[in-house]
Structure 1
Amino acid sequence: MQEIELKKWVSDKLMLLLGYSMPEIVLYVLGLSEQALSPAELAQHLEDVGLSASSKTRSFAEEIFKKVPRDKASSGLNLYQIQEREAMILARKQRTHTILEANVDDDDSVGDAGNRKCFRKRKIEEQEGDEKGKQVKRQIEERLGDQRENNNVKTLRRISRQEYLKKREQKKLEEMGYDIQDEEYLFEGVKLSEAENQEMRYKKQVYELAKKRSRESDNDMGEYRMPEAYDGEGGVNQERRFAIAKQNYRDASAGDEKKPFAEQSAWVEQQIKRATLNLKNHKNPTSDEYEFVFEDDVNHFINATTMDCDKFEVESPIEPNLVDEREALPIYTFRDQLLKAVCDHQVLVITGETGSGKTTQIPQYLHEAGYTKRGKIGCTQPRRVAAISVAARVAQEMGVKLGHEVGYSIRFENYTSEKTVLKYMTDGRLLRELLGEPDLASYSVLMIDEAHERTISTDILFGLVKEIVRFRPDLKLLISSATLDTKKFSDFFDSAPIFEIPGRQYPVEISYTKAPEANYLDAAIVTVLQIHVTQPDGDILVFLTGQEEIETAEEMLNQRMKGLASKIAQLVIFQIYGNLPTERQAKIFEPTPKGARKVVLATNIAETSLTIDGIKYVIDPGFCKMKTCNPRTEMESLLVTPISKASAMQRAGRAGRTGPGKCFRLYTAYDYHNDMEDNTAPEIQRTNLANVVLTLKTLGISNLMNFELMDPPPVEALLKALELLYALSALNKSGELTKIGRKMAEFPLDPKFSRMIVASDRYKCSDEIITIAAMLSVGYDIFYCPKNKKLLADSAKMNFHRGHVGDHIALLNVYTSWKETNFSTQWCYDNFVQVRSMKRARDIRDQLEGQLERVEIELTSNTSDIEAIKKAIASGFFTHSSRLLENGSYQTVKHPQTVYIHPTSGLSHGPPKWVIYNELVLTTKEYMRQVTEIKSEWLLEIAPHYYQLKDVEDSGSK
């Protein structure tokens, strides 16, 4: 048995016999067993040192006596036992020697043969003793040498860590300064709110304090400091070190304060100062004085723009006007009735108009009623924008720091702490939490808000929490909806009672167009200007389909306002959509400047998730972007489609929040009554289900066909999801989760992304693959292209595609180049790269790196082997492969379909024979996005279970 295994075995046995174990005790027991001549003698020794005289001790002695090798008696001895054995050998040597008298002749002592024989025997024993003594001495020296080496390593590690922390502190301080400079540059000339100005002043104050603390820690603080072993610049140049050392002993006539023995004098003075009793009264520090905390001070400078909530803790006082606003909400009148209904029923369906206070007030009422004493209150939102903004508002109303008692959690961003009792999160995040806590034991109340949105995650949550409340009678479940169609929710949850909150809805005048509009975007701009010129004060809300359309509309408004600037009042334009940075999202809630009118250009996020005060006019073109997926081809289409009647009513209702309003519908009354659907189709019936199926399988739900859903998905979509997961090796032939599948489920990504990361362990390139996955997760807004600098922007983008490497490797090149510049903001400006997208990619990558350890994947880098990186990518996207045709188009290998490389791809001008792609999108054509060249034989190597030789045979004409 190996020595390590033997020690572990002895340690385990000692734990059973004594209840504890230590390395010294293990070595001691091994030493006893090596010296013992029999198991009985060993058992007696063990009983003498404290083990109980029992059959277990005797059995332990017999087992260890058999396991310890008898020919290596010294291998398990500790230092003291070795010294003891050396002393025993020396004593034995002394006993074998006799003292020779000086007057005895040598010839007489060895005169006869018997004496000579005894003499030879004694000499042999003496030589053996010397040899054993030398051997023991060598063992002692080796052990002492190892001990000294270990001590030296520990010391070097400590010194290295200290030097690293010094450099890291300076680096983080520089990053903080750069962030402040970036914000000043970005918002130069932009009118900021008082809250934003206060935040900027706070950051600058923290930065100045940190710089001051760094300077003072480097200077002489009036205390003696040991001179460092390095030169003035942290190097190890011997001549410079000695030169610096001599500076303390220069002649006093040189004009400085240094004198001979200055260091000794400084040390003595410092000790006297500390030992002197100071009886003076301590004055209270003034407001301009600060106390610095030096322990773990490096943590204070980690990413100051998103500083952790437990740093610089400042409680926000509750503003009096916030209390008045809370009491003015429609829900306040029904507070007591609502709490009684929650107390009487485990499941409650709550309905009320958007703006009645459901999202912000109900969790606070439950907190005030004591529900947080036995668990958190969780509130889900379908969009991350809503989760962030609502959490910030509730924290402000409660007078607490965001991230303390009130926090939020979205994908790749967790702003909560151990103090958090009110937690706002996206429905997808709660699904991820269910993987680690299937019974949601840490929650006392769960509120699924905006249930009418019917996102895929919300529908899955309905089925899961319905099962949870059946075996957790202490869990309260609230289903909140802004529509009146709540009977369907009530029926699904076993006829749960419905609690209605009457809204504070003012009358809204609805106008239709006489004929359909040919260009609804242009019609919306004209309507905005007409309202601004002819209608009384009141802000305008315009519903558009997406970010690109919103930015186009803003540009059109600015162009048309230039010619009218001197004739009409100011028009302040704001945007709101899902990918907008948080600080820009908050601007829509700011009061409108006096003498101006605010225009908010929004997606359908403003239908129900957000309430913007001051809106009196709503312009509704009648369209939204809806994502649909063809389960057979996996082609996703983000198509502009007509909205439903329910959405149209929600949009009109935004105009009646604070007073009578008007809604201008840019479609005819006939279209509304005859062509529009009553409700929007649930997302679960029109999207890819692979991620959902993987999550349900991880939760132990094997019978997907019988899983309760409010609206079951198409059977074809469910079967295609199972086929894809089987192809990715996430499921076996029986439909059960594999080891690879469990690893994939740990990543909050699409299964193809997760499979790519798991495969990177095989190709030793996990560092590069998680970077690519993070960049892909950000979306397609990595680059931006100003119209007046299009050639420069295109040239900068193509620099990253140099070598025809493909879009995935180009994204890796972008991140690597940015990292090499120390994450420079100026580098992003120079290369037309979105700095905020890059920072988000960095945050996502850091979290993915943390997940690698959980799934036992080593972080390895293999930058030079592009082929290995491409194979890892293909391991996740081998189902998305296509070959080049003679006419320049491509044909997908499985389920043949004609597709094209997207014009934004770096491979669009030199199409390779074989490619894999990230996704298919349908716009003007069926386009492949994020394309990388591969070799056809890789498909057989990576997925022999999916492709046959005939599938990947190259023809000479292709």
Structure 2
Amino acid sequence: MSAEKNSAEPEVHPESEECPGEDSFGFGDDLELNRFDGLPFSSRYYKLLKERKTLPVWKVRCQFEDVLAENQLVIVSGTAKTGRSTQIPQWCAEFCLSAQYQHGMVVCTQTNKQQAVDLALRVADEMDVNIGHEVGYTIPLETCCSSDTVLRYCTDDMLLREMMSDPFLEHYGVIIIDQAHERTVSTDILLGLLKDILLQRPELRVVVLTVPPMTDKLLKHYGSIPLISLEASSPAEVVHSNSSNKDYFYSALRLVLEIHRTKEGGDVVVFFASAEEVHCASSILQREGTRLGGELDQLVPVVLCPGPGGLLPVLTQQSGSTKSRKVFLSTQHGEDVWWDTESVNFVIDTGVQKKMVYNPRVRAHSEVLQSISQCQGDIRKQLSGPTGKCFCLYPEANPSESSPQILESNITPTVLFLKRMEIAGLGQCNFIDRPDPEGLMQALEELDYLAALDDDGNLSEIGIIMSEIPLDPQMAKALLASCEFDCVSEMLTVAAMLSAPSCFLEPAAGMSHEAVQCHRKFQHPEGDHFTLINIYNAFKQSQREQYLTVEKWCQDYFLDYSALKTADAIRSELTDTLNRIELPISEPSFGTKTNTHNIKRALLAGFFMQIARDVDGSGNYFILTHKHMAQVHPLSSYGAQSHKLGLPEWVVFNEYTLSENNCMRTVSEISPQVFIQMAPLYFFYNLPPSESKDILQDMLDPEASNKEKKLRAAADDSGCTVVTQTYDRCVIQ
């Protein structure tokens, strides 16, 4: 990065000769000055400029600038390694500069926070400016920008969050949506809302960056708009498997070892279906690498999966030996991290991915194994360059169209956000793929139960406040309720710990017993939510201890320092949010009987839809909302203590996953009386009939329950059917 520079008048830019029509500032020709900070360019700038001019995207620079000047919306389509994510944002910054930023600055979205940071660092270097000044980035829990920032990289969800205070994104003159083919929920919403924003702001420019398989879908969605196609680099030699290989995992590992034995130079990338497979493959390759003959170079596996903070490891990991071959092991989230990696000569693509798909009927996720999309397959084939080889462990026609996340996710937070945007004056979101009607109705129903909607289906006052809090609606409602029950400090901790990655480290082989003993010291008899508070409080206490480093303390107790640090940052952000919207924050009183009762009431205010009852005393839990049976997750404090203390009859849980033996995660004991007190009546009466509901009905209204039982008994004798009364809160328009 360039050294700190003093401000000066801008001068002629050395790239202006590339396009004759480009504006010239004309302050003099003796010095070549940077237009963004007015200082002379460094020698590194010219070195990088020479490299930039070799990128495929550079050939369309003049065409892009002409199209951008004349059109509101532009699609740029190209494969990986074309330079579109680094160069086009710079040209857009020059476009805004030529208008003296009258219409705003430039923002470029990314689907991955690592890419947002890496791209900002690279572009600041190429523009010869200081990171955090003219070029910056914004990712969850971290902002590196200033009032001088004219080009900002950010994650797509952060730009959506920004729309809460600036619905029409009037701070920006050019909005770049990168990686549109990833089809994240946030990117799809942005693409849908920008269609309406463009009508309201004729001066705004939107640039969509994608890969060829996604181009037709975007053109169909937006209509007749300019398309700039980047020249693809020469594809690698691609070898497809003749049949679907169910044993893809070991086939990929065998292929790695075969490549290594050929002694042909270059690193290897292997794409597996999940992070678990990546870590397993790393262990196997490390073991096999020690058995290779001395005549072969060292084999160095490098895991490339997002860590607890969501960031990928740095790609510059080196082994101790100068003679080594790195084997990068990644998942479906890693295709676009290779934009600056030149050492890769081999790509092994298993062609499958494990995804969590949401089922709105049972309000649960399940893990499914599915084929990758054509977009993903094409991107992976480009990674090894024209001289490399790509081995696809699937038939040539195997990849399908990319499935948008909005069709596979819980869209309740999305619906809450869109309801907020309607209040701000934005029209309907023009989805590229409309959400599933069943999922949409479930989301509206859930928001209605949470009192986030009024009788007309619009956001209520509570709903507006919930939309300000960067949490899922249920947790946002629980945090709001904690203001009433004087347990805000504790609920902030619970919300932060559940929003961060798991704080429990998986112990090394042979250390499982020690890890369990350490974790048991934090276990709270009331349940997992309280255990998380214990862990966080102990973590903060360790920070105050002078004789022990926090990292060492976490290591000794088999806790993830990075995850706890993330939880601490989330808690600070949530505290700032509550202060901003002027909600009271009570003093901590964790450990008192009143506080414990209040925490449970606050939890039930948001999570009353996630209640289960142990029907036989052996841990077989019946979930009231959809009548599924579930078990407590083995890592729960109840799982560890079940033989000693027994399991509670009634519990509230944070998460239910179908694929993990129907397990409930983060479970705490509740009393049915408090559940009845906190759950809305119109939710309770719409629960499906069950023995558990009858028990609750007895507590709620013993006389009515006795009448209903008599009616049922009479109906059983006569063979008739009794229709139970239900209560509807409102009709969603």
Calculate the TM-score normalised by the size of structure 1: 0.63
How far 1:494 sits from its partner (Å)?
A: 2.9
Whether 1:367 aligns to 2:93 is yes
Which ranges of structure 2 fall in alignment gaps of 5 or more residues?
Answer: 2-40, 545-549, 697-733
Q: Percent identity?
A: 33
Residue in 1 that maps onto 2:699: none
1:786-809: CA deviation from partner (whole Å, max 9, x where unpaired) = 2231111111112211x4231111
Which of 623, 627, 634 is residue 892 of structure 1 equivalent to? 623
CA RMSD of aligned residues (A): 2.6
Aligned counterparts of 1:882 and 1:704: Cα–Cα separation in 2: 40
Which of 632, 647, 667 is residue 901 of structure 1 equivalent to? 632
Which of 371, 381, 392 is residue 665 of structure 1 equivalent to? 392
Which of 388, 400, 403 is residue 678 of structure 1 equivalent to? 400
SS at match of 1:401: coil
How far 1:511 sits from its partner (Å)?
A: 2.2
Report the CA distance shift for 1:447/1:593 in structure 2 as closer, same or farther (over 3 A).
farther
Which of 234, 239, 257 is residue 529 of structure 1 equivalent to? 257
Letter in 2 for 1:525: L
- Write out aligned runs for 1:338-357 (5 A): 338-357=64-83
SS at match of 1:349: strand
- Write out aligned runs for 1:771-920 (5 A): 771-801=493-523, 803-822=524-543, 824-860=550-586, 861-863=588-590, 864=592, 865-886=595-616, 888-908=619-639, 909=642, 910-920=646-656
Report the CA distance shift for 1:882/1:584 in structure 2 as closer, same or farther (over 3 A).
closer
SS at match of 1:813: helix
1:914-956: CA deviation from partner (whole Å, max 9, x where unpaired) = 111111112242111111111111111111332249864549x
Report the CA distance shift for 1:494/1:436 in structure 2 as closer, same or farther (over 3 A).
same
How far 1:366 sits from its partner (Å)?
A: 2.1
Q: Is the 8 A contact 2:604 2:679 kept in 1?
A: no
- Write out aligned runs for 1:747-786 (5 A): 747-786=469-508
SS at match of 1:917: strand
Q: Is the 8 A contact 2:167 2:426 kept in 1?
A: no
- Write out aligned runs for 1:275-286 (5 A): none
Aligned counterparts of 1:764 and 1:565: Cα–Cα separation in 2: 66
Residue in 2 that maps onto 1:448: 177
SS at match of 2:314: helix
Q: Which has the higher helix share?
A: 1
Report the CA distance shift for 1:361/1:782 in structure 2 as closer, same or farther (over 3 A).
farther
Which is greater in Rg?
Answer: 1
Q: Is the 8 A contact 1:389 1:586 kept in 2?
A: no
Which of 228, 236, 243 is residue 508 of structure 1 equivalent to? 236
How far 1:609 sits from its partner (Å)?
A: 5.3
SS at match of 1:752: helix
Report the CA distance shift for 1:663/1:363 in structure 2 as closer, same or farther (over 3 A).
same
How far 1:579 sits from its partner (Å)?
A: 3.0
1:70-89: CA deviation from partner (whole Å, max 9, x where unpaired) = xxxxxxxxxxxxxxxxxxxx
Report the CA distance shift for 1:872/1:784 in structure 2 as closer, same or farther (over 3 A).
same
Aligned counterparts of 1:467 and 1:906: Cα–Cα separation in 2: 49
SS at match of 1:436: coil
Whether 1:732 aligns to 2:454 is yes
Which ranges of structure 1 fall in alignment gaps of 5 or more residues?
Answer: 1-194, 196-314
Which of 264, 267, 270 is residue 539 of structure 1 equivalent to? 267
- Write out aligned runs for 1:690-701 (5 A): 690-700=412-422
Instruction: Name whichever of 625-634 and 412-421 sits farther off.
Output: 412-421
Report the CA distance shift for 1:316/1:741 in structure 2 as closer, same or farther (over 3 A).
farther
SS at match of 1:440: coil
Whether 1:406 aligns to 2:135 is yes
Q: Is the 8 A contact 2:450 2:474 kept in 1?
A: yes
Report the CA distance shift for 1:916/1:543 in structure 2 as closer, same or farther (over 3 A).
same
Report the CA distance shift for 1:679/1:589 in structure 2 as closer, same or farther (over 3 A).
farther
Whether 1:931 aligns to 2:667 is yes
Report the CA distance shift for 1:321/1:531 in structure 2 as closer, same or farther (over 3 A).
farther
How far 1:677 sits from its partner (Å)?
A: 5.2
Q: Is the 8 A contact 2:113 2:311 kept in 1?
A: no
Q: Is the 8 A contact 1:689 1:717 kept in 2?
A: yes
Aligned counterparts of 1:322 and 1:582: Cα–Cα separation in 2: 29
How far 1:317 sits from its partner (Å)?
A: 7.5
Residue in 2 that maps onto 1:643: 372
Aligned counterparts of 2:107 and 2:491: Cα–Cα separation in 1: 34
Which of 287, 306, 326 is residue 578 of structure 1 equivalent to? 306
Aligned counterparts of 1:609 and 1:595: Cα–Cα separation in 2: 24
How far 1:644 sits from its partner (Å)?
A: 2.6
Letter in 2 for 1:334: V
SS at match of 2:82: coil
Whether 1:463 aligns to 2:203 is no
Residue in 2 that maps onto 1:149: none
Count of residues in Structure 1 that have an aligned counterpart in Structure 2: 634
SS at match of 1:586: coil
Aligned counterparts of 2:420 and 2:101: Cα–Cα separation in 1: 31
SS at match of 2:452: coil
Residue in 2 that maps onto 1:490: 219
Whether 1:566 aligns to 2:294 is yes
Aligned counterparts of 2:314 and 2:574: Cα–Cα separation in 1: 28
Report the CA distance shift for 1:692/1:581 in structure 2 as closer, same or farther (over 3 A).
closer
Q: Is the 8 A contact 2:116 2:137 kept in 1?
A: yes
Aligned counterparts of 1:592 and 1:421: Cα–Cα separation in 2: 42
SS at match of 1:486: helix
How far 1:572 sits from its partner (Å)?
A: 2.7
Whether 1:327 aligns to 2:42 is no
How far 1:435 sits from its partner (Å)?
A: 0.9
How far 1:520 sits from its partner (Å)?
A: 2.3
Higher relative contact order (CA 8 A, sep 6+): 2
Letter in 2 for 1:717: G
Aligned counterparts of 1:438 and 1:892: Cα–Cα separation in 2: 39
Aligned counterparts of 1:817 and 1:322: Cα–Cα separation in 2: 49
How far 1:702 sits from its partner (Å)?
A: 10
Calculate the TM-score normalised by the size of structure 2: 0.82
How far 1:613 sits from its partner (Å)?
A: 2.2
Report the CA distance shift for 1:379/1:829 in structure 2 as closer, same or farther (over 3 A).
same
Q: Is the 8 A contact 1:936 1:953 kept in 2?
A: no
Q: Is the 8 A contact 2:114 2:311 kept in 1?
A: no
1:342-375: CA deviation from partner (whole Å, max 9, x where unpaired) = 1111111110111101111111122234257332
Aligned counterparts of 1:580 and 1:319: Cα–Cα separation in 2: 35
